[in-house]
A and B are shown apart, each in its own frame.
Chain A
Amino acid sequence: MTLPTAAIPNSPTLFITTRAGDIRSVRGMIGHSVMESIRDAQIEEIQAICGGACACCTCHVLVDAEQVELLPPLSAEEDALLDGSSVRTLMSRLSCQLEVTEKLDGLRLTIAPEE
């Protein structure tokens, strides 16, 4: 009898720099959001109050400048929400809007400063 071999996708590793300056490696769940991966790794600096509905701005991260092109472009909604942040930079993203894919393996993110 042969057991079916489930296609287990490689879990990409994300490197998260916390506000304290520590770098944490976080396992991303493919198909889930980057926000969920950060939250489930117990990095409590993002609040993600709306749970990923793109309705607040509390999962703000800054993407490493060299990796910005790895990510899909911002939606108008994400762009508008980020505009309300006093700490927005060109590298700003809402982590709930970033879906984890294999392509994101090695992505370096920094939790945005507290507002």
Chain B
Amino acid sequence: MQALDVLIVGSGHAGAQTAIALRNEGFAGTVGILGKELDLPYERPPLSKEYLLGNKERDRLLIRPASYWQQQRVEMILGRRVDCVRPDERYLCDSDGRKIRYQRLVWAAGGVPRTLSCPGAELSGVHVVRSRADVDGIRDALASTSKVVVAGGGYIGLEVAASLVKLGKQVVVIEATERVLARVAGPKLSSFFEAAHRSCGVEIRTRSQIVAVAGENGRVSGVHLHNGDIIAAQMLIVGIGIVPAVAPLLDCGAEGGNGVAVDEHCRTSLPDIYAVGDCALHVNRHARNTALRIESVQNAVDQANVAAKAIVGKPVAYDATPWFWSNQYELRLQTIGLSAGHDAEVVRGDPATSTFSVVYLRQGKVIALDCVNAPRDYVQGRKLVAEGIACDQALLGDASVSLKSFCA
């Protein structure tokens, strides 16, 4: 049986960074990454943007060149899925029945895109955006596509919509809730992005649901909405979130549910099994100490570093301030903190100029900022969020007052 000192499941940002961090920490044992895709670890954020647009070639997505993994002796076990984990005997089985023994297991399996459950969801021409291959599938079909329906007005959906508009496609975004970005931002940012997309020609339908996908000869020909409307389209891109890929761990007794539960060192409830990244359900002080999963590069990288440090015996607790970015058209959004649970939002600057920030507060203290083309607020707001500084709202709303001045 193959045996590794550290076996990492998942070849995304979190898995790759775990291996990188282990080597940077001087870990000399054997390390392997098992991934379901055949690609070496690559960056996912460009998939909905530069890669979809054809502005970034495949090799430039790689998190590290192939030579890195060879020289750092990180074994790549690619094109394999985990079937079951045997924590008592410290091995896992893949879907081909092969077993791999481990001393430490790091679960960085991320998630699988949520799909529509309505009739027609399996038609050819229905796509998701999670892997490089997913986006290749979209690109291959674009030549014969003039109109695209995007299900989901989250970051993925909006970034894809922006890219497709640049490529000359007609785009309709269908969002189930009353506004886009409802899960991740406040109403002011949502209305700004809705207006921005509409001015670029995107049709946005909120409070709207796809009840069936129509097809002709097995291919998408449109979508039926809950109100009876029919939208003709040759492609449907579904961006309605992910389901964390944690079933093998929960099946063998790990605590969790929506993800696998981890402590501040990214340890699961199972011996010598860690979890990091999108699938790790962790208590976060930026979410009022509730347990949540964070789907971001920042969280993947920082948790990977935490797990690596725990493995090499230099434990530090996970306490990173969340940050995130999204580029759509010429709009560069940078986010610091988590805005969910805010009781006030203050706008700095004029959204009509496409340069402004939204500061989110809870009980008078800053908990998050969304900064659009306003990197200075993003940088200076970081400290306000990290330290939960109380600020006068009238002053905060004056864009001529620098956020630095609140830190004194």
Contact = CB atoms under 8 A, between A and B. Distances in A.
Given A76-B375, A80-B376, A84-B379, A49 B298 contact: yes
Interface in A28-70: 32, 36, 39-40, 42, 44, 47, 49-51, 53-57
Contacts of B65: 40
A77 interface: yes
A55 B325 contact: yes
A36 B62 CA distance: 10
B81 to A, nearest CB: 26
Contacts of B327: 53
A81 B334 CA distance: 11
Interface string B1-32: 00000000000000000001001100000000
A84 B371 CA distance: 15
Nearest to A40: B65
B64 A83 contact: no
B379 A44 contact: no
Contact of B376 (A44, A56, A83): A83
A40 B69 CA distance: 11
Nearest to B383: A84
Interface string B32-76: 000000000001011000000000000010011100100110000
Contact of A83 (B72, B298, B332, B379): B379
B213 interface: no
B406 interface: no
- Main SS at interface, chain A: loop
Contacts of B334: 55
Contacts of A39: 64
B297 A50 contact: yes
A34 to B, nearest CB: 14
Interface of A: 32, 36, 39-40, 42, 44, 47, 49-51, 53-57, 76-77, 80-81, 83-84
8 contacts: A36-B60, A51-B43, A51-B45, A51-B63, A54-B332, A77-B332, A83-B380, A84-B379
Given A49-B301, A80-B376, 19 more contacts: A40-B64, A40-B68, A42-B72, A44-B20, A49-B297, A49-B298, A50-B297, A53-B325, A53-B327, A55-B323, A55-B334, A56-B298, A56-B323, A57-B379, A76-B375, A77-B375, A81-B379, A84-B379, A84-B380
Interface of B: 20, 23-24, 43, 45-46, 60, 63-65, 68, 71-72, 297-298, 301, 323, 325, 327, 332, 334, 375-376, 378-380, 382
